Amino acid sequence: MVSRDLTKAAFIVFWVKCFVSCAEDPHLTRALKLMSETPLIDGHNDLPWQMRLRFNNQLSKVDLNTFNGTHTNIPKIKEGRLGAQFWSAFVHCDTQNKDAVRQTLEQIDVIHRMCQKYPEVFMFASSSQDILDAFRQNKTASLIGVEGGHSIDSSLGTLRTMYQLGVRYLTLTHSCNTPWADNWLMDTGSEPSQHDGLTPFGKQVIHEMNRLGMLIDLAHVTVRVMEKVLEMSQAPVIFSHSSAYSICNNKRNVPDHILIKVKEKRGIVMVNFYNDYVTCSHTANISDVADHFDHIKKIGGAEIIGFGGDYDGVTRLPEGLEDVSKVPNIVAELLRRGWTDPEVKAALGENLLRVLKEAELVRDSLSSRAPDDVPIPYEQVETPCRTSYGYDMDVPNQAALHLLNAVPLLLMVFVQDFITLT
């Protein structure tokens, strides 16, 4: 009862604030109207990681109606009109080759438990239709994105299991290479590329994600990986929390030639609010963030833009966008700059809904294809912490055996790549 009263009080405060703000800013009035008609879908929020850091995932020790130590809580979600959120199931790179899978499963679990604890606010979602259903019920659709390919431990079986648990995108790398894909830091020159983007097993991962209907997230990868995936994926791809490289020359951002390819693939770039990716400095404001939206629209059109705030995963946010409640401010700024209602609605959520629907259509078209069960060569993942059960260690060259087993799949990959390029 106390929790419900607090929620009601927060709702009243929200409308009082809204009345005062809207009376002063007609663009904000229009922004809130558009957000009542189209769900704001954000591509990346690290609140689940904050639950691990602060409470070791013990949700019994926190009330999101009242806890105010994060960028995201229930009153802020309501004020920010958050229609749908991809919650990040993230674990650090130092878990790779150790307990990454277990820790990722625990993050998936905490997202499910958030929805169970606050059913009046969150509705678990795993499809484009679920997002629309939650929006009609005035709830925040809650989806899962796994941030970092190290979380699957180079296992297609683990990838499939995570999909069955509701994971709807995988960020191919975080800030470390996997045994099959290069991460964005390679483009800074800090280390040489290990895989020329993707290994043959990396290509298997892409094709299996297409078959499952799992979105491929290219935030955190090298440009070479971006190029390869955009060539070979049958479904549109996403950048769940990246901005425009031409505005801020940080390698986590997306260069113009890739924006053009994203447009051709009918994908989406969801703009990150982190100051370091907005202005390449410690300070930023709403206008600086809007510059990224404008540039992406100029290069690729309004149909490839989305929101990927990276709340609770970053330490510095622009003035006026300090937490989730402030997101309507950037929507108002876009309208102030002359964005049309259809363009704003596209960026708010229609683009992401389209991308997810198209990935689901690709999944349906591949329903007759059997799951890929060819494992990664053992020598590519061998560590003191890993066993070799299932691999024939009497065979002197496991790589050659793996290549022989994978010939049918590799031929399919080659044919699909050839068709795409021609």
Whether residue 44 lies in the annotated active site: yes
Phi/psi at 88 (5° precision): -85, 125
H helix or E strand, kind and range, residue 345: helix 341-345
Q: Which of 71, 150, 207, 220 is catalytic?
A: 220
Q: Which of 42, 79, 130, 147 is catalytic?
A: 147
Placement of tokens 């997810």 in the chain? 356
Q: Which of 153, 288, 303, 310 is catalytic?
A: 310
Whether residue 150 lies in the annotated active site: no
**C-alpha angle 289-295-300 in degrees, rounded to nearest 5:** 130
Per the document, the length of the chain is 422
For residues 408 and 200, give the distance between their C-alpha atoms in angstroms, rounded to a whole number.
12
Whether residue 112 lies in the annotated active site: no
How many whole angstroms from its chain centre is CA 192?
A: 26
Q: Is-contact 266 298, C-beta < 8 A?
A: no
The β-bridge partners of 122 are 140
Residue 58: which of 104, 99, 109, 120 has the closest Cα?
A: 109
Q: Which of 174, 195, 292, 295 is catalytic?
A: 174
Whether residue 46 lies in the annotated active site: yes
Q: Are strands 167-171 and 140-147 parallel, antiparallel or unpaired?
A: parallel
Q: Token pair for residue 24? A: 């002063």
Cα end-to-end distance, the chain, whole Å: 63
Q: Is-contact 321 307, C-beta < 8 A?
A: no
Most distant CA pair in the chain, distance = 76
Q: Is-contact 86 45, C-beta < 8 A?
A: yes
For residues 70 and 64, give the distance between their C-alpha atoms in angstroms, rounded to a whole number.
10
Helix, strand or coil for residue 340?
coil
- How many CB atoms sit inside 10 A of residue 371's CB? 11
Q: Which of 241, 292, 295, 402 is catalytic?
A: 241
Whether residue 220 lies in the annotated active site: yes
Q: Which of 42, 46, 208, 323 is catalytic?
A: 46
Q: Is-contact 171 159, C-beta < 8 A?
A: no
Whether residue 310 lies in the annotated active site: yes
Active site residues: 44, 46, 147, 174, 220, 241, 310
